[in-house]
C-alpha cells in the first residue's frame, strides 16, 4: 500500500521507499545521538528501568465531568484541583478495562492522559471525546482493533481503526493502541507506539536530512509528503515502528542509552528533544 492508498504516482512512492531504506541504514545522525544522550543523562533517574512507565501527565479531572464511563484509576471528576497519572497507571487501567471488554473506558483513560492539561470543559478535549463516545460503532471498532493486534500485529490494528470513528484520529487512537499493546501483545512484530504530529515532524526532519544528503529528496518534498501532520497510512505506521526499533538499537549499541531501553522510551524522548538534523 502506498502513501496515497493507490492514488499517487509510482515515481514519488519509489523515492519515498528509497529514503526509508536510507533511514533504516542510518537512523539517527550524530547530532540526534548527542541530543538524546543528554536527554538520558537528565532523565536517567526517572526512567531507570529503561521504559517510560514513570512518565506522568497532569490533568484537571473537573474539566471532564461530562465524560462516562470514567476509569477508576483516574481521580474523580468531582476533584477540582489538578491530578497526575503515569503511563504505568494508564496501562494498568487499560488492561483492567479490556479484561472486562469495557472498550470505551479504556479509550477514556488513554485520551485524558493524551490531552493532559490541554483539556478544557468546552474545548476540543472533553467536547470531542464526548462525541466520540456517543458514536454507535465505537465499541465494535475498538474491539476489532484489539483483535487485529492480538491475531496479526500493530500495523493491522492501526488499519482497523483508521477512519472508523468520527473525531478519533491517529494521534489519539495510536495512544489507545500503545496502551492496549501492554495488555495485548501483538501476534507478531513490534508493539504499537504513539504517533502524533510532534513525532511525525521529528521523523520529517530526519527524512529531509537523509534525503538531501543522499540526493534522493533534495528539496524535502518527499519527507513532507510521507511525514505529514496527520492521516498517516498503515504502511507509514509500519515504517515508523521499524525505524523506532532500529534507532533504539543504535542508541543502546552506542552506549548512549541503557541496555534495557525500549522504543517507547525513544518516543517519549523525541517528543521533548530538539536538535539540528546535520552537523
Where exactly are the structural domains of the chain? 10-43+196-272, 56-183
Q: What is the mean pLDDT of residues 123-149?
A: 94
pTM of the full predicted structure?
Answer: 0.94
- Model pLDDT, residue 26: 83
Q: What is the mean pLDDT of residues 10-19?
A: 90
Q: What is the mean pLDDT of residues 164-171?
A: 96
pLDDT in tens, 71-122: 999 999 998 899 999 999 999 999 999 999 999 999 999 999 999 987 555 4
- Model pLDDT, residue 274: 78
pLDDT of 2 > 70? The answer is no
Place of cell 501532520: 229
Phi-psi region of 157 (alpha: psi -120 to 50; beta: other; left: phi over 0): alpha
- Model pLDDT, residue 79: 86
- Model pLDDT, residue 275: 75
pLDDT of 171 > 90? The answer is yes
Q: How far apart are CA 124 and CA 23, in angstroms?
A: 35
Candidate ranges 10-14, 30-34, 110-114; pick with highest mean pLDDT: 110-114
Distances (CA, A) of 121 to 60, 62, 82, 112, 171: 10, 8, 14, 12, 20
- Model pLDDT, residue 120: 53
pLDDT of 225 > 60? The answer is yes
Q: How far apart are CA 149 and CA 163, in angstroms?
A: 17
- Model pLDDT, residue 3: 77
Q: What is the mean pLDDT of residues 207-226?
A: 94
pLDDT tier at 1, thresholds 50, 70, 90? very low
CB 222 within 8 A of CB 210: no
Q: What is the mean pLDDT of residues 175-202?
A: 96
Distances (CA, A) of 249 to 25, 26, 43, 121, 230: 12, 11, 19, 42, 27
Distance of CA 271 to the CA centre of its chain: 10
- Model pLDDT, residue 255: 86
Average pLDDT, the chain: 92
pLDDT tier at 12, thresholds 50, 70, 90? confident
- Model pLDDT, residue 80: 81
Higher-scoring residue by pLDDT: 117, 168? 168
Q: How far apart are CA 121 and CA 219, in angstroms?
A: 43
Q: What is the mean pLDDT of residues 202-206?
A: 94
Q: How far apart are CA 52 and CA 268, in angstroms?
A: 7
Q: How far apart are CA 195 and CA 255, in angstroms?
A: 26
Q: H or E stretch including 84? A: strand 83-86
Amino acid at each position: 500500500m502506498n502513501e496515497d492508498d493507490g492514488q499517487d504516482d509510482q515515481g514519488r512512492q519509489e523515492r519515498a521507499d528509497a529514503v526509508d531504506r536510507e533511514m533504516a541504514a542510518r537512523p539517527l545522525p550524530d547530532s540526534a545521538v548527542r541530543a538524546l544522550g543528554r536527554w538520558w543523562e537528565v532523565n536517567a533517574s526517572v526512567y531507570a528501568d529503561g521504559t517510560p512507565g514513570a512518565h506522568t501527565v497532569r490533568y484537571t479531572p473537573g474539566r471532564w465531568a461530562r465524560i462516562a464511563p470514567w476509569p477508576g484509576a483516574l481521580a474523580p471528576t468531582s476533584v477540582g484541583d489538578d491530578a497526575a497519572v503515569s503511563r504505568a497507571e494508564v496501562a494498568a487501567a487499560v488492561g483492567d478495562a479490556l479484561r472486562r471488554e469495557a472498550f470505551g473506558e479504556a479509550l477514556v483513560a488513554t485520551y485524558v492522559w493524551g490531552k493532559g492539561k490541554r483539556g478544557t470543559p468546552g474545548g476540543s478535549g472533553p467536547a470531542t471525546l464526548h462525541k466520540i463516545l456517543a458514536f454507535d460503532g465505537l465499541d465494535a471498532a475498538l474491539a476489532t482493533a484489539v483483535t487485529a493486534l492480538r491475531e496479526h500485529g500493530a500495523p493491522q490494528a492501526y488499519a482497523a481503526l483508521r477512519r472508523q470513528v468520527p473525531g478519533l484520529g491517529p494521534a489519539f487512537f495510536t495512544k489507545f493502541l500503545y496502551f492496549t499493546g501492554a495488555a495485548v501483545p501483538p501476534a507478531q512484530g513490534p508493539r504499537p507506539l504513539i504517533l502524533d504530529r510532534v513525532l511525525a515532524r521529528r521523523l520529517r526532519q530526519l527524512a529531509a536530512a537523509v534525503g538531501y544528503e543522499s540526493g534522493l529528496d533534495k528539496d524535502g518534498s518527499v519527507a513532507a509528503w510521507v511525514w505529514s501532520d496527520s492521516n498517516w497510512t498503515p504502511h507509514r505506521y509500519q515504517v515508523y515502528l521499524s525505524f523506532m526499533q532500529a534507532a533504539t538499537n543504535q542508541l543502546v549499541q552506542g552506549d548512549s542509552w541503557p541496555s534495557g531501553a525500549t522504543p517507547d522510551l525513544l518516543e517519549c524522548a523525541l517528543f521533548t528533544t530538539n536538535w539540528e538534523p546535520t552537523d
